[in-house]
Structure 1
Amino acid sequence: MLKRVLALTLLLALWLTFASAKVSSISGRLSENDIVWPNKLLRDIPIVDPPQRVAGYFKLNRTHDAHMFYFYFQARNNPTTAPVVLWMTGGPGCSSELAVFYENGPYKLNPDNTISETEFGWDVDHNVIFVDQPINTGFSYSKDPRDEVSDEETVAEDMLDFLSEFFEVHSDIVNNDFFVTGESYAGHYVPAVSYRLYRAVELEGFDLNFQGFAIGNGLTNAAIQFGAYADFAYANGILSESLRDSINFWYPLCRFGANLCDSTQWFLPCDIALDICQLTTFERVLNANPGINVYDITKKCDGPLCYDMTQLTDFMNRADVQAALGVDRKWQECSFDVYADFTSDWLRNFDSVIPEMMEDGIRVMIYAGDLDLICNWMGNERWVNKLQWYGSDQWSAVTAKNWSADASPGSNSEASGTVRSLGPLSFVRVFKAGHMVPMDQPRNALKLITSFTRNQSLTLDDLEQEGDQFQETTVMEDEDESGKYMGKDRGQYMHVIRSQAKKTGVAERGARSWGRKDFLRHRDASAAVVGAAM
């Protein structure tokens, strides 16, 4: 009798395991598996009514054999209304698993190779998508060399292709606010992908509630950012004044080469210019500081990527882990083949597409840990300061204000960093954090991304109100017929635009030729009707 009970118990356990590991969603090109970790790997992960957590593959349309790997983590709180956040790790060629287990994912890898649920993963209040991209990064792969990726145009098209299919399967969150995020080389990915999505929504009828994007310690405008290395190093006491001046003397040569690369996009001048920039600026700082960790100047470099991540490499290549994720491939932190493929892309400038999006109300947050050298906060703030957008004149007068993850009225909490904010743009400096802000300051990182996606001020001052006043003033003062309304009523504006398109039968682009006066007149007339009805 006891043997029968044990046998039935075992069969029931096996049935539950395989039932829970079934493919949860499938389409013609996208397949997903619920992630079911072996019990021996779990420590303190809730097993009662957990949020949906899946891993999957997507077959790209344009390719011969490319399969893009991704995670989808449902929000722990209010998933039906929580914003959707896409995360892309940089490199180029570094995998999303680095972020999932070390930064802003739901899992923490413990010293004994068990996993715990993180307290400050971005999935606490967001539905989060992590993608291994470009192809041949992480678990993404292609056996056909024709599928290799070397430019942002392809990156952007691939992400549009993936998201189109993803939201066909996950139609329950397609109307939720959507944000693109990433760090490091994602300073290229994020603007490129965001702009492609923006154009698809505005001109091609792509159904996506795209609201904004955020870049953490990114490389976005190399021609400007290379010029900050010497000043940042000197300000932090790791470079002499004479060496700083020498580096800055040669920097214009780097800037010329980077601008030439961006304007021509030719392989040879881009490669030569990158070598010149590295030799005349960045490498001279490194030579003056042997063994420095370029991602955190307070630490020493340990390993090829300056952090020892061999534990994660071993973990991701375990048979039981790969079975839980539905993969069967050797995993590596970063692909140096992908890295090499993007050599001619490094010096291209991707801040030029940002102003147009901001003019249509797309929100932008650039944040940076202040201990990072390679994509330091000074260089990032410099390119933000040089953006040519409708608030350029006022931006220079915006002062940095302290923010705190613990801020509350009347409190004297320690500052987590500083923030400058105006209209749709904010620049956030994060104290005591290096290149990977969510790893070094997880609580503060969750605070800043949650405030951003909810369009809330990071400070106790009402910056949001200041931004709205600025936007309204800009609209009312500028009566250019060809302009676009880009204040806090962007949602209403786009609703009006789409309504006009349906009524007149013209394309949405044609409806958007409406001037600012037309929109304001429509808005004021609608307000008058509502007022009369009340």
Structure 2
Amino acid sequence: MELVPRTSPVVLLLLSLLGLSTGAVIDWPAEEGKEVWDYVTVRKDAHMFWWLYYATNPCKNFSELPLVMWLQGGPGGSSTGFGNFEEIGPLDSDLKPRRTTWLQSASLLFVDNPVGTGFSYVNKSGAYAKDLAMVVSDMMILLKTFFDCHKEFQTIPFYIFSESYGGKMAAGIGLELYKAVQQGTIQCNFAGVALGDSWISPINSVLSWGPYLYSVSLLDDQGLAEVSQVAEQVLDAVNKEHYVEATQLWGKAEMLIEQNTDGVNFYNILTKSAPMAAMESSLEFTQSHLVHLYQRHVRHLQQDTLSQLMNGPIRKKLKIIPEDCSWGGQSASVFQNMEGDFMKPVIGIVDELLEAGVNVTVYNGQLDLIVDTMGQEAWMRKLKWAELPKFNQLKWKALYSDPQSSETSAFVKSYKNLAFYWILRAGHMVTISRFVR
């Protein structure tokens, strides 16, 4: 694989997945391009917001480049906010051009899902999604509407990229989209899914937290024993399909880790977590374990500066946001309503994608804890895909972001329609990780 000077490992990953040439430098300044946005009513009282940017490559028309849909985690994290302005969109959170925007390589579709996330909203409390099946059903309505209205994208390769809980949603959405394309109900050129630090099998993450932290001297013997004990309790609840109880125990496991590691950051083990802010009373949480989980896994995606940007200049620019809807205002309810879904594994869905021939790429940051690489490797070993033994027999290959340097940026293993990327010196948010030198 020919690599590009001054290119980060995640950009190399993007280029490799999309089948684009890596023979040209891709750090051009972002140029203002065409963008559109709108709402889709996916169910009664449920309205989903999307924002599309057409690719701005000075050498190619957008029609020559893929379309990438980006799905944020949480659930309750906003793609149009965090993914757009903090990770891969054309502008950063200071509204300055981002030199590493993915728009250089693809058109970008950001969607605030599940309903109630970001600028998406519900009119009644009963309209929130309760599980993955409802999330998928809503997205199918949005994608059908999108491709019917934007026929210029129907033949362009369409990829679903995801992060964290977004990966769980991406797997389910990808499988249903594949079926819809086969049935002819949605017209698009579906090309594959990319699962970044994804919550595919939560129990495998929880079971590996202790050994991972112990191996890097962030737990001692007593701490390892305590974390391992609660992890076994989570496993027992999952095996019994007591998923709400498993969610509660998951929160207990995280609190034990924070106590024993002096506040390790779940998104990058080389840093410490910032103290949690007090929960706003308007969020009306009634279960304390959900308060802590929400603060740890969603609030960091909508810090005050980003919230001020989205509810200020961006809201004014968009012009279609209802007066009584604020960006992130319903995210806590999104998170709370999905409580029974958090700990459910979707390994079987990934198996179905692979058996159907859909391209599946898994990538993970070396320094991530919440979805650590050990856990990712563990659930992948559980796949029943017929080609898995051949995939496992392969040796990984090193990738270098600078051909003049011998420093390894990532490893990759790929066979047929499955690929795995180990991204070194990166945390949970691989696209914005500060690579440790």
Q: 2:263 is paired with a residue of what secondary structure? A: coil
Match of 1:260 among 231, 237, 240: 240
Counterpart of 2:266 in structure 1 is: 294
Report deviation, 1:71: 0.9
Q: After superposition, where does 1:297-336 map in structure 2 within 5 Å?
A: 297-302=269-274, 303=276, 304=295, 305=299, 309-318=303-312, 320-326=313-319, 327=321, 328=323, 329-332=325-328, 335-336=331-332
Whole-Å Cα distance in 2 between the matches of residues 45 and 201 of structure 1?
33
Relative to 1, partners in 2 of residues 1:245 and 1:421: Cα closer, same or farther, differing over 3 Å? farther
Whole-Å Cα distance in 2 between the matches of residues 368 and 79 of structure 1?
29
Q: 1:238 is paired with a residue of what secondary structure? A: coil
Counterpart of 1:163 in structure 2 is: 143
Report deviation, 1:334: 7.5
The answer to whether the Cα contact below 8 Å between 2:116 and 2:330 also exists between their aligned partners in 1 is: no
Q: Relative contact order (C-alpha < 8 Å, sep 6+): which is higher?
A: 2
The answer to whether the Cα contact below 8 Å between 1:98 and 1:333 also exists between their aligned partners in 2 is: no
Match of 1:197 among 170, 177, 181: 177
Which protein has the larger Cα radius of gyration, Structure 1 or Structure 2? 1
Report deviation, 1:274: 2.3
Relative to 1, partners in 2 of residues 1:205 and 1:166: Cα closer, same or farther, differing over 3 Å? closer
Report deviation, 1:241: 3.5
Q: What count of residue pairs does the alignment treat as equivalent?
A: 378
- Range with greater deviation from structure 2 (159-168 or 419-428): 419-428
AA at the equivalent of 2:74: G
Q: After superposition, where does 1:130-529 map in structure 2 within 5 Å?
A: 130-248=110-228, 251-261=231-241, 269-279=242-252, 281-302=253-274, 303=276, 304=295, 305=299, 309-318=303-312, 320-326=313-319, 327=321, 328=323, 329-332=325-328, 335-407=331-403, 411-440=404-433
Relative to 1, partners in 2 of residues 1:193 and 1:45: Cα closer, same or farther, differing over 3 Å? closer
Post-superposition CA distance 1:440-473 (Å, at most 9, x none): 169xxxxxxxxxxxxxxxxxxxxxxxxxxxxxxx
Whole-Å Cα distance in 2 between the matches of residues 333 and 296 of structure 1?
27
Q: 1:80 is paired with a residue of what secondary structure? A: helix
The answer to whether the Cα contact below 8 Å between 2:112 and 2:120 also exists between their aligned partners in 1 is: yes
**Where in structure 1 are there 5+ consecutive unaligned residues?**
1-43, 262-268, 443-534
The answer to whether the Cα contact below 8 Å between 1:95 and 1:334 also exists between their aligned partners in 2 is: no
The answer to whether the Cα contact below 8 Å between 2:205 and 2:370 also exists between their aligned partners in 1 is: no
Counterpart of 1:69 in structure 2 is: 49
Report deviation, 1:306: 5.2
Match of 2:92 among 95, 108, 131: 108
Whole-Å Cα distance in 1 between the matches of residues 244 and 434 of structure 2?
35
The answer to whether the Cα contact below 8 Å between 2:234 and 2:246 also exists between their aligned partners in 1 is: yes
With normalisation by structure 2, the TM-score equals 0.81
AA at the equivalent of 1:94: G
Q: 1:107 is paired with a residue of what secondary structure? A: coil
Counterpart of 2:12 in structure 1 is: none
The answer to whether the Cα contact below 8 Å between 1:70 and 1:130 also exists between their aligned partners in 2 is: yes
Report deviation, 1:434: 1.2
The answer to whether the Cα contact below 8 Å between 2:30 and 2:101 also exists between their aligned partners in 1 is: no
Relative to 1, partners in 2 of residues 1:325 and 1:360: Cα closer, same or farther, differing over 3 Å? same
The answer to whether the Cα contact below 8 Å between 2:195 and 2:361 also exists between their aligned partners in 1 is: yes
Q: 1:225 is paired with a residue of what secondary structure? A: helix
The question of 1:94 aligning with 2:86 is answered: no
AA at the equivalent of 2:377: E
Q: 1:109 is paired with a residue of what secondary structure? A: coil
Relative to 1, partners in 2 of residues 1:220 and 1:334: Cα closer, same or farther, differing over 3 Å? farther
Counterpart of 1:52 in structure 2 is: 34
Whole-Å Cα distance in 2 between the matches of residues 256 and 392 of structure 1?
27
AA at the equivalent of 1:285: I
Whole-Å Cα distance in 2 between the matches of residues 190 and 55 of structure 1?
21
Q: 2:346 is paired with a residue of what secondary structure? A: coil
Report deviation, 1:278: 3.8
AA at the equivalent of 2:247: L
The answer to whether the Cα contact below 8 Å between 2:159 and 2:192 also exists between their aligned partners in 1 is: yes
Report deviation, 1:140: 0.5
Whole-Å Cα distance in 2 between the matches of residues 151 and 104 of structure 1?
28
The answer to whether the Cα contact below 8 Å between 2:76 and 2:117 also exists between their aligned partners in 1 is: yes
Report deviation, 1:74: 0.6
Whole-Å Cα distance in 2 between the matches of residues 229 and 438 of structure 1?
23
Q: 2:213 is paired with a residue of what secondary structure? A: helix
The question of 1:82 aligning with 2:65 is answered: yes
Q: 1:287 is paired with a residue of what secondary structure? A: helix
AA at the equivalent of 1:370: Q
**Where in structure 2 are there 5+ consecutive unaligned residues?**
1-28, 277-294
Whole-Å Cα distance in 1 between the matches of residues 367 and 30 of structure 2?
32
With normalisation by structure 1, the TM-score equals 0.67
Post-superposition CA distance 1:357-407 (Å, at most 9, x none): 222321111111111111111111211122110112223322332212334
Relative to 1, partners in 2 of residues 1:395 and 1:154: Cα closer, same or farther, differing over 3 Å? same
AA at the equivalent of 1:290: D
Q: 2:162 is paired with a residue of what secondary structure? A: strand
Identity of paired residues, percent?
27
Q: 1:195 is paired with a residue of what secondary structure? A: helix
The answer to whether the Cα contact below 8 Å between 1:91 and 1:334 also exists between their aligned partners in 2 is: no
Whole-Å Cα distance in 2 between the matches of residues 157 and 422 of structure 1?
31
Relative to 1, partners in 2 of residues 1:365 and 1:441: Cα closer, same or farther, differing over 3 Å? farther
Relative to 1, partners in 2 of residues 1:247 and 1:299: Cα closer, same or farther, differing over 3 Å? closer
AA at the equivalent of 1:244: L
Q: 2:51 is paired with a residue of what secondary structure? A: strand
The answer to whether the Cα contact below 8 Å between 2:30 and 2:98 also exists between their aligned partners in 1 is: no
